[in-house]
Chain A
Amino acid sequence: MKTKFISLVVGGLCAAAPAMADLVIPNLSYRTGAYAPGGIPYADGFNDYFTLLNARDGGIGGEMVSVPECETAYNTEKGVECYEATKGLGALAYNPLSTGITYQLIPKVTVDHIPLYTPGYGRTSAANGKVFEWVFNYPANYWDGASVAIKYLLDQNGGDLAGKKIALVYHNSAYGKEPIRTLQDLAAKHGFTLTELPVDAPGQEQKSQWLQIRRDKPDYVLMWGWGVMNQVAVQEAANINYPMENFIGIWWSGSENDVIPAGEGANGYKSLAMHGTGMDYPLYADLKQYVYDAGKASGNGDQIGSVLYSRGVYAAMVIAEAARKAQELAGVSAINATQMREGFENLEITEARMAEIGLPNFGQPFAATCADHGGPGAAMLQQWDATSKKWTLITGFIAPDQDVLDPLVAADSEAFAAEAGITQRCN
């Protein structure tokens, strides 16, 4: 009886695990809890892209892709548990969609030799490949976002922000504090006054911060928020009649979720965008044919084309291209995590390649190198139209101010290297 039971358990586990030949890309997602409205569309986009590759192309380079999903609930401890539970499956890369989880995983992936891909989030200075061998955060990071926002405002003000007042409303966490140093340096460079307004998580009550904004009358408000903080901030801005066109969020404060609850009050609100949004891309014809109409859509299938769904698609696309590059470099299709890292480090995504994939003008072209794991860092601006309930891109890609950012990235990553005893590479 006992033997039968053990056989059943082992058999069940084998059935649940991906076939050994699969390329395993775990999806550390969050579909429950307070941050689920952001986690669900991202996870759906991520899953659907790999489902498409499997259904249409038979996977990548002839290898099917397995995407085991693990629920983190945006909780750092659970995220680490998910990592530990899935790495044994032969994981090739992780993308946990959480800065907190990213910080915990950086030392682990460095020891375990598994690439960590954190597009637009995570530890900004991981852009320095000389120090962070196993971490990649192209095409843009938080500091890029802060610089792009200021460059846009410079453009709006004839190249001069001297004497202007800019307030930063931020999530009082490691994530929310990321842009402060950059903005302080940019304030010194361009002569504007920066007011920092932290909001404690989760951010349901922000009356104090918005009363202060009403009193101080800053020319512009920037926001680094996530979850309910975004919706409440947009509503509070509308409540005090703050001009929404002067209110700009980072790309994590720029989804449909963030503006719909405020209704007409959110009209004109802007956010950064590191990729395109919507279904006007040829890729969606294939997604419809091979995924949606085939009943293989992830989740409810009701998030298709949204901002965060698009970001999930983008992250999956980059990982898939890195895997393709790794196969090319290694000369084998069944790559391991070390070979996958080579793929990430030598990845070049051109506009021609994105058009071939079915995502023309969707993201910025980039080419990673040993030293550059961060990409060009450009971003666009999008604006919310409450009547049509759509985001509209209002700029092309704006490059960040590398003169300010490069020394910051170097200083932070070198401090980390000294602390962790890491010898810099790429010399």
Chain B
Amino acid sequence: MPDQVLYAIEVTLNGLMTGVMYSLVALGFVLIFKASGVFNYAQGVLALFAALTLVGLQNGQVPFAHVINATFGTNLSTFGWHLPALLAILLTAGIMVILAIIIERLVLKHLVSQAPIILFMATIGLAYFLEGLGDVMWGADIKKLDVGLPQGISDTIERVTDGWFGYGFFIDNLDIVATVVAVLLVAALTIFSQYSKQGRALRAVADDHQAALSVGISLRFIWVLVWSIAGFVALVAGIMWGTKSGVQFSLSLIALKALPVLMLGGFTSIPGAIIGGLIIGVGEKLFEFIMSSPDLAGAWFGFTIGATENWFAYVLALLFLVFRPQGLFGEKIIERV
């Protein structure tokens, strides 16, 4: 097989894996939008907050230590423990549930029946508040996240593909784990929404708020539920992205990578978030591969360009929107007057 074809296959596989990472972020947006019609601007910050909390708990970091020390003249920094990763993840998930309850009590409850734009603005405020809270609680330094996930090239895949093609493909072990986790997460969410009482209630609210309220479904409970699930999904995304780069405040910017996925896949479809992520991942990686290659774009157009991924993802999403404004899997909204 020609080298360029092999490279293109490798790039495609890595694009699929990267797309899964984007989908993990996009899922949180979809869950909240589907249940409440709110575009949650704070989803990226939720991932950051979850990852900060996870590292802090795992390493026994004293929250608000800087404030406590400055106020009382103490010298606190750690509790002196190191929690097992699983326990720290469970505790963090619990904290995300508590956070969901607090958000519902202090913010959402007071905005029932307000226009979606008001709720959207509230999530902008929430994003900045949580970012500041995370800073004061855990500090702005970069933290190494180690929950035991493997990283680096998969030797097996490299060896096998080298045997087949004479060129060993690079696949990151972390991306393989992310793919497995994403599959399990989507399966769990699907089973939950199809077969559990709370899941059916959630779907009812998503279909029609008023009708759901009229049959006795508590909107407040559903909001707590969906923000808790979105918080858990944010935790998963935070773990995956935080393992790649360390936990730091730029983690909240991963939300920017989810936007074209949502535009393409639709804001209301869980499969759409996955398929959209895969298309964006493969599309941007292949485009970058072609346009930065002297043997391809250089030979065809006489020039090469790099760093195309950020903008090309949006171009790709906009192209899809021209033909399907609601996204690939989004619900077509027809409003009659």
Q: Which residues of A pack against B, CB within 8 Å?
A: 31-37, 40, 172, 196-200, 202, 204-205, 207-209, 211-212, 214-215, 227-228, 231-232, 235, 238-241, 257, 260-261, 263, 265, 300, 302
B7 x A204 contact (CB < 8 A)? no
B170 x A240 contact (CB < 8 A)? yes
Other contacts beyond A34-B253, A209-B306, A232-B244: 6, CB < 8 A? A32-B132, A37-B140, A228-B250, A260-B142, A261-B143, A263-B144
Q: With a CB–CB cut-off of 8 A, which chain A residues contact B132?
A: 32
The answer, yes or no, to whether B152 is at the interface (CB within 8 Å) is yes
A300 x B66 contact (CB < 8 A)? yes
Q: With a CB–CB cut-off of 8 A, which chain B residues contact A37?
A: 140-142, 248-249
Interchain residue pairs with CB less than 8 A apart (15): A31-B140, A36-B135, A37-B140, A37-B142, A37-B248, A172-B306, A197-B292, A202-B250, A208-B289, A211-B10, A231-B142, A240-B153, A241-B153, A257-B246, A265-B151
A175 smallest CB distance to B (angstroms): 14
A207 x B135 contact (CB < 8 A)? no
The answer, yes or no, to whether B245 is at the interface (CB within 8 Å) is yes
B11 x A34 contact (CB < 8 A)? no
Select A33's contact among B7, B18, B249, beta carbons within 8 Å: B249
B66 x A200 contact (CB < 8 A)? no
Q: With a CB–CB cut-off of 8 A, which chain A residues contact B299?
A: none
The answer, yes or no, to whether B199 is at the interface (CB within 8 Å) is no
B248 x A235 contact (CB < 8 A)? no
A36 x B170 contact (CB < 8 A)? no
B248-296 residues with Cβ-Cβ distance < 8 A to A are 248-254, 257, 285, 288-289, 292
Select from chain A the residue with minimum beta-carbon distance to B284. Answer: A208
| Known contacts A214-B170, A263-B144; is-contact A200 B244 (Cβ 8 Å) | no
The answer, yes or no, to whether B139 is at the interface (CB within 8 Å) is yes
B278 smallest CB distance to A (angstroms): 14
Most B-side CB within 10 Å, residue of A34, A196, A228, A260: A228
Most B-side CB within 10 Å, residue of A172, A197, A209, A215: A215
Q: With a CB–CB cut-off of 8 A, which chain B residues contact A199?
A: 307
Q: With a CB–CB cut-off of 8 A, which chain B residues contact A211?
A: 7, 10-11, 14, 170, 289
**What sequence of 0s and 1s flags, for each residue 55-95 of chain B, a beta carbon within 8 Å of any chain A beta carbon?**
00000000000100000000001000000000000000000
Total A-B contacts with CB atoms under 8 angstroms apart: 112
A208 x B152 contact (CB < 8 A)? no
Query: What separation, in Å, do the CA atoms of A35 and B252 have in the docked complex?
Result: 12
A204 x B306 contact (CB < 8 A)? no
Q: Which residues of B pack against A, CB within 8 Å?
A: 7, 10-11, 14, 18, 66, 77, 132, 135, 139-146, 151-153, 170, 172, 241, 244-246, 248-254, 257, 285, 288-289, 292, 306-307, 309-310
Query: What separation, in Å, do the CA atoms of A153 and B281 have in the docked complex?
Result: 36
B135 x A197 contact (CB < 8 A)? no
B309 x A200 contact (CB < 8 A)? yes
Query: What separation, in Å, do the CA atoms of A34 and B140 have in the docked complex?
Result: 9
B250 x A235 contact (CB < 8 A)? no
B66 smallest CB distance to A (angstroms): 5
| Known contacts A227-B250, A239-B172; is-contact A261 B135 (Cβ 8 Å) | no
| Known contacts A207-B18, A208-B288, A232-B244; is-contact A241 B142 (Cβ 8 Å) | no
Q: With a CB–CB cut-off of 8 A, which chain B residues contact A215?
A: 7
A235 x B245 contact (CB < 8 A)? yes
Select A231's contact among B7, B77, B152, B246, beta carbons within 8 Å: B246
Select B245's contact among A31, A33, A200, A228, beta carbons within 8 Å: A228
Query: What separation, in Å, do the CA atoms of A268 and B153 have in the docked complex?
Result: 19
Query: What separation, in Å, do the CA atoms of A40 and B14 have in the docked complex?
Result: 35
| Known contacts A34-B248, A212-B292, A240-B170; is-contact A261 B144 (Cβ 8 Å) | yes
Give 8 closest A-B pairs by Cβ, nearest first: A261-B246, A34-B250, A198-B307, A36-B140, A228-B250, A172-B307, A208-B288, A200-B310
A296 smallest CB distance to B (angstroms): 12
Q: With a CB–CB cut-off of 8 A, which chain B residues contact A235?
A: 151, 244-245
Query: What separation, in Å, do the CA atoms of A9 and B140 have in the docked complex?
Result: 33
B307 x A205 contact (CB < 8 A)? no
Q: With a CB–CB cut-off of 8 A, which chain B residues contact A214?
A: 170
| Known contacts A197-B306, A239-B172, A261-B246; is-contact A204 B254 (Cβ 8 Å) | yes
B248 x A228 contact (CB < 8 A)? yes
Query: What separation, in Å, do the CA atoms of A111 and B121 have in the docked complex?
Result: 41
Query: What separation, in Å, do the CA atoms of A40 and B292 have in the docked complex?
Result: 36
B153 x A239 contact (CB < 8 A)? yes
Q: With a CB–CB cut-off of 8 A, which chain B residues contact A198?
A: 306-307
B130 smallest CB distance to A (angstroms): 13
Q: With a CB–CB cut-off of 8 A, which chain B residues contact A260?
A: 142, 144, 246
A204 x B292 contact (CB < 8 A)? no
A239 x B309 contact (CB < 8 A)? no
Select from chain B the residue with minimum beta-carbon distance to A196. Answer: B306
Q: With a CB–CB cut-off of 8 A, which chain B residues contact A200?
A: 307, 309-310
B170 x A257 contact (CB < 8 A)? no
Query: What separation, in Å, do the CA atoms of A33 and B254 have in the docked complex?
Result: 14
A40 x B140 contact (CB < 8 A)? yes
A182 smallest CB distance to B (angstroms): 19
Query: What separation, in Å, do the CA atoms of A212 and B151 have in the docked complex?
Result: 19
A424 smallest CB distance to B (angstroms): 36
A207 x B306 contact (CB < 8 A)? no
Select from chain A the residue with minimum beta-carbon distance to B73. Answer: A295
Q: With a CB–CB cut-off of 8 A, which chain A residues contact B172?
A: 207, 239
B142 x A257 contact (CB < 8 A)? yes
Select from chain B the residue with minimum beta-carbon distance to A239. Answer: B152
Select B11's contact among A172, A205, A208, A239, beta carbons within 8 Å: A208
A179 smallest CB distance to B (angstroms): 15
Query: What separation, in Å, do the CA atoms of A25 and B245 have in the docked complex?
Result: 35
Query: What separation, in Å, do the CA atoms of A31 and B131 have in the docked complex?
Result: 13
Q: With a CB–CB cut-off of 8 A, which chain B residues contact A239?
A: 151-153, 170, 172
A208 x B285 contact (CB < 8 A)? yes
Select A32's contact among B77, B140, B244, beta carbons within 8 Å: B140
A298 smallest CB distance to B (angstroms): 12
B18 x A205 contact (CB < 8 A)? yes
Query: What separation, in Å, do the CA atoms of A198 and B274 have in the docked complex?
Result: 28
